[in-house]
Amino acid sequence: MACQDLQGVVVKPVLISVLSAGLTASKTAAIMTLPATTEELPRCPVQGEMEPKTLLLIARTQSLIKHLRSALDASRYVIRWASSSSQALRLDLHPSLLLLELPASGGTRSVARLKKGFDAPLVALARKGQAGPALADACLARPYEMAQLVEVIETTLINHSSSIICAENMCLDTEQRRLQMHGLVHQLRPLACDILSLLMQRSGQVVPRDELFRRVWHTNDGDSTRALDVHIAYLRRELEADPRKPRLIVTERGVGYRLHPPV
């Protein structure tokens, strides 16, 4: 696998060809370097709580940890560290994603062992000019910005999520409420995610207002508060080039809404 530098990254399987560095750092990520058990959180995309993703960094030193700590949201990510692939495989851990700093030898054997030992995608962090192992799911070469690494992490997790809905060039992770479109990752509100999920499942078809309200709010009382309109307006502000002239989520007056995904 080829690794690119600041001009882009390579991600496999490919859902987007060029990643932007538009994701920004937010909060502080929790660091855990000793094995521990974590209570499994419920998978429920309707609610506001999300199960944090566990990232396992395999590197000789912990120097990258402080940068990840400042770049990732602590409520969404837990970071674990191992100094070698052998140490990583001894952990009682089920990581969501592996980050492997490649050794000078290339790391092909390490990648193969880690992929065999963990059911998780692997991002290879390569040296400048170093080719990434073929088994790596994504590869990022130095020098790189932390915003790029964050986006590779986000995109790789979306690519390998078990709760993905796709429509043309839109991919929605309903568990984490993240939409990938036009090379960007959008974090959506819970109800807006549910609405978009229904529209994506019926892409190109009109979904009646009553059906959307009934299936998202789980009531037959009708949308007397215009709550659906509020969330449609939010989605348009987030996703449309011009929310005043929507082309993605189109209103079929008197009936409902139709999704026209980008091709």
For residue 81 the two structure tokens come to 């560290």
> Tens place of pLDDT for every residue, the chain, 263 residues?
766 443 444 443 333 222 333 333 333 333 332 233 223 323 333 334 457 899 999 999 999 998 998 899 888 899 999 999 999 999 999 999 999 999 999 999 999 999 999 999 999 999 999 988 999 999 999 999 998 999 899 889 888 877 888 998 899 999 889 999 988 899 999 999 999 999 999 999 999 999 898 889 988 777 667 899 999 999 999 999 999 999 999 999 999 999 999 87
Say if residue 134 is exposed, middle or buried (CB neighbours under 10 Å; 0-12, 13-18, 19+).
exposed
Phi, psi of 250 (to 5 degrees): -105, 135
Where exactly are the structural domains of the chain?
10-159, 188-259
- Please state, in angstroms and rounded to a whole number, the distance separating the CA atoms of residues 182 and 176: 18
Q: Helix H segments across 24-107?
A: 65-71, 85-90
CB atoms within 10 A of CB 239: 21
Phi, psi of 259 (to 5 degrees): -95, 130
> According to the model, what pLDDT value does residue 50 have?
59
> According to the model, what pLDDT value does residue 224 have?
67
- Asked if residues 97 and 77 have their Cβ atoms less than 8 Å apart, the reply is no
Torsion of CA 92, 93, 98, 101, to 10 degrees: -30
Vertex 114 angle, CA 111 and 117, to 5°: 150
> According to the model, what pLDDT value does residue 247 have?
95
Pick the CATH number of 10-159 from 3.30.360.10, 1.10.287.130, 3.40.190.10, 3.40.50.2300: 3.40.50.2300
Q: Strand ranges (DSSP E) for the chain?
A: 10-11, 30-32, 53-58, 77-82, 97-101, 122-126, 138-141, 164-167, 170-173, 178-181, 184-187, 206-208, 249-252, 256-259
For residue 20 the two structure tokens come to 């932007």
Q: Write the CA distances from 135 to 111, 114, 214, 259, integer angstroms.
A: 7, 10, 45, 36
- State which amino acid sits at residue 242: D
- Please state, in angstroms and rounded to a whole number, the distance separating the CA atoms of residues 220 and 211: 9
> According to the model, what pLDDT value does residue 39 have?
31
> According to the model, what pLDDT value does residue 18 have?
27
Q: Is the pTM of this model over 0.85?
A: no
> According to the model, what pLDDT value does residue 209 have?
92
Which of helix, strand or coil describes residue 69? helix
Beta bridge partners of 31: 79
CB atoms within 10 A of CB 40: 8
Beta bridge partners of 55: 79, 97
**Does 188-259 carry CATH code 3.30.2010.20?**
no
